[in-house]
């Protein structure tokens, strides 16, 4: 089994389960944050699921490392660090920028013939081939940048907005992520082959319903779209419902592994 504890690109909590995991859920955070985006997900997964959260440089425990400002370079580097950990059936979940990274890593794996996710879950993000209607903002002054981020997305806690020192720590990573997104230009490529579940908030102007349904053009497999009441960060207020959706997607993977163990006479 892969050793996730030695990989600084992944954050996980030690499992208290007696038996080894049978499936793995990789979670990709949104712009400017790290594993803390999914801190309340730990301890909520079904037995047999290993939760691994992507830990990018330039934030939280890796805040002293330079952030990536180029999406292609980020995806190439991240994919290389994830490859050893696809020893179990796995699912990708990404929110907002995390949806872009998760999708691009899936494309990279598909192109190289590596294992691909059993399921890709994208959240709070319009389909990748759709143009961004808003003007760039990574070049704005700090005050302008923060105001525009808050207007477009919200999500920056009031306590951080009021703390200039804390905000100064957050901004470099957030700026780098926004720059990576603004320079990101997906080209026409073969469709993915894995099923996609698309989640979004009914009041999210960044990812309206028609843009969520446009993900159907990204894969040859089934696509399911589900929306929840809320804005861009609906997944915080609707965490229980979102987790139920994720668990339902993971459930068949656990059942398959249990069946295989029974066939070969192994403990599940």
**pLDDT reading at 86 higher than 70:** yes
Tokens 């997964």: give the residue. 45
138 is catalytic: no
Q: Enumerate the domain spans of the chain.
A: 4-263
CB 161 within 8 A of CB 146: yes
DSSP assigned state of 188? P
What is the per-residue pLDDT for 103?
97
4-263: CATH class: alpha beta
User: What HEC string does 6-40 produce?
Assistant: HCCCEECCCCCCCCCCCEEEEEECCCCCCHHHHHH
**What tens digit of pLDDT does each residue of 104-145 get?**
999 999 999 999 999 999 999 999 999 888 889 988 999 999
**What tens digit of pLDDT does each residue of 182-201 get?**
999 888 888 999 999 999 99
> What percent of the chain stands above pLDDT 90?
75
Strand partners, 264: none
What is the per-residue pLDDT for 220?
97
Q: Which segments of 113-267 does DSSP mark as H helices, in order?
A: 142-152, 158-161, 164-182, 209-213, 234-237, 239-263
- Sorting pLDDT into bands at 50, 70 and 90, what band is 5? low
| C-alpha 185, offset from chain centre | 19
- Nearest CA to 198 among 218, 224, 235? 224
Spot the catalytic one: 67, 96, 99, 123: 96
CB 232 within 8 A of CB 201: yes
Strand partners, 113: none
- Mean pLDDT across the stretch 235-260? 87
**pLDDT reading at 52 higher than 70:** yes
Tokens of 94: 């990404």
**pLDDT reading at 265 higher than 80:** no
């Amino acid at each position: 089994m892969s050793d996730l504890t030695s990989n600084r690109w992944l954050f996980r909590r030690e499992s208290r389960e007696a038996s080894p995991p049978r499936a793995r859920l990789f979670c990709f955070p949104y712009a400017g944050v790290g594993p803390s985006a999914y801190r309340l997900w730990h301890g909520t997964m079904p037995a047999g699921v290993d939760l691994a959260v992507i830990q990018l440089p330039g934030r939280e425990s890796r805040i002293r490392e330079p952030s990536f400002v180029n999406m292609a370079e980020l995806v190439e580097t991240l994919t290389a660090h994830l490859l050893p950990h696809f020893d179990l059936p796995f699912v990708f979940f990404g929110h907002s920028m995390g949806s872009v990274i998760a999708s691009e890593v899936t494309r990279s794996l598909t192109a190289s013939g590596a294992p691909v996710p059993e399921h890709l879950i994208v959240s709070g993000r319009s389909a990748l081939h759709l143009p961004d209607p808003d003007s760039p903002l990574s070049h704005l002054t700090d005050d302008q940048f923060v105001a525009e981020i808050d207007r477009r997305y919200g999500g920056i806690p009031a306590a951080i907005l009021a703390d200039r020192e804390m905000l100064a720590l957050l901004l470099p990573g957030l700026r780098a992520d926004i720059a990576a997104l603004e320079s990101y230009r997906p080209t026409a490529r073969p469709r993915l082959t894995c099923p996609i579940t698309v989640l979004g908030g009914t009041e999210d102007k960044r990812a309206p319903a028609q843009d969520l349904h446009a993900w159907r053009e990204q894969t040859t497999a089934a696509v399911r779209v589900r929306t929840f009441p809320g804005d861009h960060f609906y997944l915080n207020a609707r965490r229980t419902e979102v987790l139920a959706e994720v668990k339902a997607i993971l459930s068949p993977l656990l059942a398959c592994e249990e069946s295989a163990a029974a066939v070969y006479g192994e403990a599940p």
